[in-house]
Amino acid sequence: MVRTLASHAGNRGSTPLCSTKLSVKIKFIWYVYVLKCLNDDTFYTSMSKNVEQRLKYHNSGKSRYTKGHIPYKVIYTKLIGKREDARIREKYLKSSVSKRLITKIPSNS
């Protein structure tokens, strides 16, 4: 999008005095997510730029850790933004305090 600044009185607006390209560059949007196994109620916590794609990957059996516990369902996602912040949130969710809270999330949510 090009935004044109207002022209001065002598210029009838046909030529912009200044034009500026406005663009917002978002390098990465990161999510932290928690999966719950529908068979044995185990949990898997991680981060990704595309949670739906990661769920499909985990349910396909291609992940070494999760292949023995499929199928999974996403029970928690949080949009974080920066990768570093997502990693901090992921570590918190893997802590013992948070694990107790995660186990209380109903499967049908």
Q: For 43-95, how does the pLDDT look when each residue is reduced to its tens digit (9 = 90+)?
A: 999 999 999 999 999 999 998 889 999 999 999 999 999 999 999 999 999 99
Give the domain CATH number at 49. Answer: 3.40.1440.10
Q: Taking the mean position of all CA atoms in its chain, how far away is CA 21?
A: 27
Better-predicted residue by pLDDT, 39 or 28: 39
Instruction: Tell me whether residue 13 is in a domain.
Output: no
* Backbone Cα Rg of the chain: 23
**How confident is the model at residue 100, as a pLDDT?**
82
Whether 71 contacts 38, CB under 8 Å: yes
pTM of the model: 0.70
Domain count, the chain: 1
**How confident is the model at residue 96, as a pLDDT?**
84
Domain limits at 98?
Answer: 27-102
Give CA–CA dist 69/58, Å, rounded.
9
* Helix residue ranges, H only, the chain: 51-59, 83-93, 96-102
Better-predicted residue by pLDDT, 57 or 19: 57
Give CA–CA dist 42/31, Å, rounded.
20
Q: Name which of 29, 47, 56, 28 is nearest 90 in CA terms.
A: 47
